[in-house]
Amino acid sequence: MDPSARSAAMAGSSTAVAESNGSALFSNPALLTPLADRRLAFSYLNHVSDINAGWLSYARHLDSLGTFAVGLRYLSFGSFDERNDQGEKTGTFGASDMTLSVGGSRAWNKSWAYGASVNISRSSIASNSAAAASFDAGLTYNNPEARSSFSASAHNLGVVFSSIGNRSDSLPMDVRLGFTQKLAYLPLLISITGYRLQKLDGGEKGNGSLGSVLNHLKIAGEFQFSKAFQVRFGYDHRRHQDLKVKTRLDMAGFSTGVGIVIAQIGFDYSFNSWSSLGSLHRLSIVSKL
């Protein structure tokens, strides 16, 4: 899931988009910058059905070492009826996921930066649970003269300690490449992210060459009218293919949102279409402590 309303509004194309808060820890730890110092970021998502999710992060910058952040991700699937073999209700149970992350970044020189994070994850269903530890690492290159940036990152490299039931789980490794370009005569930032590049499956069968490529790309833009007001949009083709129901004008996979700063408190909102399943609304708040 996208770690912030800004990322969600840009369809998750945030691997190379610099953040001024600790939520960059979840997208690419190399994106943590000194601008995130002492900033607390919170994001809430009311998902479909009874699913709710939240993200919390805090960052500090130490001049001699780099920028560090700690983050917590939580996902609740709501309440379920518990029944016996005869179908009789015997109670209720819940299911949830939680991940604690700690990471940091360091500038290599004026253009390059690198970062990494360690994540401890736990999933639970009723009285059953699973646990894992993973590692994320990233690298970024920024060229102010060309108004562009590049990034590379690997996510969920690690080990599963325990699984739920008799199955043997594995972590969903993800290799990403990102590129951003800010236009010279228009206040628009273009962002392209390639994801799941370690497994070029091309999406569903029957895709042409273009469809196969698009199934590993997220494309987005951000109109940066000022530091206090931005308008965002994005498109995720794989999500569109997975969720579309209508044969025409199905907006699944499309997203939009806005960012506003009032009295040095940042508010971000995103809207993501899930076709006939509904839509997702997310709110993020960033404040300096």
Instruction: Give this prediction's pTM.
Output: 0.87
In angstroms, the CA 250 to CA 203 distance is 18
Residue 69: the pLDDT is 96
The predicted model gives 100-104 an average pLDDT of 96
Q: Rounded to the nearest 10 degrees, how much is the dihedral formed by the CA atoms of 61, 117, 260, 237? A: 150
- Domain containing residue 242: CATH number: 2.40.160.40
The predicted model gives 15-32 an average pLDDT of 89
Kindly report, residue by residue over 64-76, the tens digit of the pLDDT: 899 999 999 999 9
Of residues 166 and 35, the one with the higher pLDDT is 35
Kindly report, residue by residue over 230-241, the tens digit of the pLDDT: 999 999 988 888
Kindly report, residue by residue over 234-277, the tens digit of the pLDDT: 999 888 888 887 767 778 889 999 999 998 899 999 999 887 77
DSSP symbol at 34: G
3-state secondary structure of 128: strand
DSSP symbol at 1: -
The contacts found for 18-24 with CB under 8 angstroms, 24 or more apart, are 18/142, 18/149, 20/286, 21/57, 21/59, 21/266, 21/286, 22/57, 22/58, 22/59, 22/69, 22/70, 22/71, 23/55, 23/57, 23/71, 23/284, 23/286, 24/69
Transcribe 172-198 into DSSP letters.
Answer: --EEEEEEEEE-SSSSEEEEEEE--TT
Report the mean per-residue pLDDT for the chain.
90
How many C-beta atoms surround the C-beta of residue 87 within 10 A?
7
Tell how strand 39-46 and strand 279-288 pair up: antiparallel
Query: Would you put residue 147 in left (φ > 0), alpha (ψ -120 to 50) or beta?
Result: left
DSSP symbol at 60: E
In angstroms, the CA 41 to CA 25 distance is 11
The predicted model gives 75-102 an average pLDDT of 92
Overall domain count for the chain: 1
How many C-beta atoms surround the C-beta of residue 253 within 10 A?
22
Residue 207: the pLDDT is 57
Whether 3 shows a pLDDT value over 90: the answer reads no
Residue matched to tokens 């994850």: 121
Q: Give percent above pLDDT 90 in the chain.
A: 66
In angstroms, the CA 23 to CA 27 distance is 7
The domain in which residue 26 lies consists of 5-288
**Are 88 and 78 in contact, with CB atoms under 8 Å apart?**
no
Residue matched to tokens 């987005």: 220
In angstroms, the CA 110 to CA 105 distance is 14
How many C-beta atoms surround the C-beta of residue 249 within 10 A?
5
The predicted model gives 203-216 an average pLDDT of 68
**How close are the terminal C-alpha atoms of the chain, in Å?**
26
Whether 289 shows a pLDDT value over 90: the answer reads no
Q: Which residues of 148-177 are buried (b: 16+ CB within 10 A; e: fewer)?
A: bbbbbbbbbebeeeebeeeeeeebeebbbb
